[in-house]
Amino acid sequence: MPPRSLLKLFNRSLCTSTSSSSTPNQSEKLERIADELVKLIKIERYDFSILFRYKLGLNKYGPSISGLASSSSGTSSAPGSTGADEKAVEKTAFDIKLEKFDAAAKIKIIKEVRTFTDLGLKEAKELVEKAPVVLKSGVTKEVGNPIIEKLKELGATVVLE
């Protein structure tokens, strides 16, 4: 809320506090919360603002409009129509995942991993030995398919996720 509306709310709660018994508790509660917020240090206030936005269902992009749209479309149309909307969105970025490899081809696979990553020999060896592991993230199908074919020829089981 903008500061003016907070002042109006505060003034309204002070004016009506004498007329009813439920508003003094409410104004005392608001005053106690305000006092606690004033006592917070800068980093705590920042953390509180993030937590408060999260609790309200807000994120850095604003209110969650996508959640509202899907709930309203589900009530106004057939329940199966939301699945069609999800299928219409096509994935463009994929991950190359090494699931397992032939032990005899380990050295060749490490060399091939070094060709499409910026890793040194030691890092590439450690990465390959951690299988199943994602070797490269955020690649397109055009870039990922040749890499997968080459690794499969060498004896690795690789998938494009």
3-state SS, 36-59, equals HHHHCCHHHHHHHHHHHHHHCCEE
**Chain centre to alpha carbon of residue 77:** 29
What pLDDT, on a 0 to 100 scale, did the predictor assign at position 18? 47
Q: Give every residue of the chain whose pLDDT is below 50, as ranges.
A: 1-2, 17-20, 63-78
CA atoms of 24 and 32, how far apart (whole Å): 12
What pLDDT, on a 0 to 100 scale, did the predictor assign at position 66? 45
Residues 92, 84: contact at Cβ < 8 Å? no
The H or E element that residue 98 is part of is strand 94-101
Residues 37, 45: contact at Cβ < 8 Å? yes
DSSP annotation of 154 reads: H
What pLDDT, on a 0 to 100 scale, did the predictor assign at position 22? 52
Q: Say what the pTM is.
A: 0.44
Cα-only R_g, the chain: 28
Identity (one letter) of the amino acid at 130?
Answer: K
What pLDDT, on a 0 to 100 scale, did the predictor assign at position 76? 46
Tokens, residue 63: 């209110």
